[in-house]
């Protein structure tokens, strides 16, 4: 009776590639999302997701479908968006979240215009909303490699990242490498957003980054448990989202994010730490 849960993945290679790539992305994006919430950088993640688009569009215009050029263009644009917002905030006194809210619609509009100038060689809907079912062997290898790299780097900078999130001044007083935690973390976020474009899409990838993390936060206050729960909830979202997409003949990216949103709502109601039925307040500033 439960054959429908795994039959599409057993029968079709494109479904297996989509599942492996999506789960790999979820395993690395979930922990990153937890740290984005912990550091109160959710809006910055949104801005970087939109800020990547002009960089990838310009790289496509100049170099065509060159994967390395697209990655470099998106990385520079995403980090540039974060630095620009920070610079505006420091120069004008405007809050950083207000700067980001003003910049990311401009970045999205600029990216769409650049893609229009580049011609009709790129399916704009595919770029914005993604198609996990179109993940090829090369993209799968890149997604698996990046997921492994992200987890390794997170393990290496874990202690610094936790201290930088809670007390950055103390970290800089005890370690000369403390200032590296923020830029390394931002690079990991941008790289995962870039790779997520293929499977989830430019407008959808942020959902896989933040929704499992927010759902996990409603179920625990222990950081290591949060990281594991976010990764597992993201992987479950990918699996169920692909099944919904396959059987209902719907776009895969929105289906994955929809399932992640439903899991968040379940945790919002039943979660043991902040769930509506539990009535407990959050004890960590996430």
Tally the domains of the chain.
1
Q: Tell me what pLDDT residue 162 has.
A: 85
Q: What is residue 67's predicted lDDT score, i.e. its pLDDT?
A: 66
The encoded tokens of residue 159 equal 């202690």
**Does residue 233 form part of some domain?**
yes
Taking a C-beta distance cutoff of 8 angstroms, is the pair 216, 226 a contact?
A: yes
Largest CA distance in the chain: 62
Interior CA angle at 36 toward 32 and 41, to 5°?
Answer: 150
Residue 257 · residue 240 · CB < 8 Å: no
Whether 280 maps to a domain, the answer reads no
- More confident of the two residues 59 and 283: 59
Q: What is the pLDDT of residues 91-131, one digit of tens each?
A: 777 776 677 777 878 887 887 787 777 655 555 555 555 56
Neighbours of 283 (CB within 10 A): 9
Structure tokens at 116: 């229009």
The answer to whether residue 275 is domain-embedded is no
pLDDT tens for each residue of 35-73: 988 888 777 777 777 778 788 778 877 876 666 777 788
- Please compute Rg for the chain using Cα positions: 19
CATH code of the domain in which 92 resides: 1.10.3470.10
Question: Hey, what's the torsion of the CAs at 32, 36, 41, 47, to 10 degrees?
Answer: 30
Domain for residue 278, yes or no?
no
Q: What percent of the chain has pLDDT over 90?
A: 23
| DSSP labels, the chain | --GGGTHHHHH-HHHHHHHHHHHHHHHHHHHHHHHHHHTT-HHHHHHHHHHHHHHHHHHHHHHSS-HHHHHHHHHHHHHHHHHHHHHHHHHH---HHHHHHHHHHHHHHHHHHHHHHH-SSS-HHHHHH--GGG--HHHHHHHHHHHHHHHHHHHHHHHHHHHHHH-HHHHHHH-TTGGGHHHHHHHHHHHHHHHHHHHT-TTTHHHHHHHHHHHHHTT---HHHHHHHHHHHHHHHHHHHHHHHHHHT--HHHHHHHHHHHHHHHHHHH-TTT-TTTTPPPSS--
Judge whether 79 lies within some domain: yes
Could you tell me the CA-to-CA distances from 92 to 5, 32, 86, 96 in Å, in that order? 54, 30, 10, 10
Q: With a cut of 70, say whether residue 246 has pLDDT above it.
A: yes
Q: Is residue 140 part of a domain?
A: yes
For residues 117 and 97, give the distance between their C-alpha atoms in angstroms, rounded to a whole number. Answer: 30
Report pLDDT digits (tens) over 168-198.
677 767 777 667 777 888 888 888 888 887 6
pLDDT, position 77 = 85
Place of tokens 């403390």: 178
Q: Range of 233's domain? A: 3-270
**How far, in whole angstroms, is CA 58 from its chain's centroid?**
21
How many percent of the chain have pLDDT more than 70?
83
Q: What is the structure's pLDDT at 134? A: 64
Global pTM value:
0.82
C-alpha count within 13 angstroms, C-beta hemisphere, residue 109: 5
Question: Which carries the bigger pLDDT value, residue 39 or residue 280?
Answer: 39
Residue 27 located in a structural domain: yes
Q: For 12-24, what is each residue's pLDDT tens digit?
A: 888 898 899 889 9
217 found inside a domain? yes
Residue pLDDT, tens place only, 126-163: 555 556 666 778 878 888 998 999 999 999 988 888 88
């Amino acid at each position: 009776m439960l054959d429908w849960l795994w039959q599409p993945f057993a029968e079709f290679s494109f479904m297996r590639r989509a599942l492996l790539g999506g789960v790999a992305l979820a395993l690395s994006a979930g922990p990153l999302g937890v740290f984005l919430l912990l550091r109160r950088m959710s809006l910055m993640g949104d801005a970087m997701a939109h800020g990547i688009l002009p960089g990838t569009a310009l790289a496509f215009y100049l170099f065509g479908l060159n994967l390395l050029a697209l990655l470099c263009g998106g990385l520079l644009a995403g980090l540039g968006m974060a630095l620009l917002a920070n610079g505006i905030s420091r120069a004008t006194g405007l809050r950083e979240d207000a700067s980001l809210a003003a910049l990311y619609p401009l970045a999205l509009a600029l990216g769409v215009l650049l893609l229009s100038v580049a011609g009709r060689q790129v399916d704009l809907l595919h770029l914005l909303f993604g198609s996990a079912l179109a993940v090829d062997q090369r993209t799968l290898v890149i997604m698996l490699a990046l997921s492994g790299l992200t987890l390794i780097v997170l393990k290496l900078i874990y202690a610094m990242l936790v201290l930088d999130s809670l007390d950055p001044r103390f970290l800089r007083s005890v370690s000369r490498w403390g200032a590296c935690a923020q830029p390394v973390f931002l690079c990991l976020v941008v790289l995962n957003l870039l790779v997520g474009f293929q499977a989830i899409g430019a407008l959808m990838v942020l959902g896989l980054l933040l929704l499992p993390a927010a759902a996990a936060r409603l179920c625990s206050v222990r950081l290591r448990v949060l990281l594991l729960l976010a990764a597992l909830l993201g992987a479950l979202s990918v699996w169920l989202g692909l099944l919904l997409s396959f059987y209902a003949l719907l776009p895969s990216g929105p289906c994955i994010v929809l399932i992640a949103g439903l899991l968040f709502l379940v945790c919002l109601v039943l979660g043991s730490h902040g769930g509506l039925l539990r009535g407990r307040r959050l004890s960590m500033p996430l």
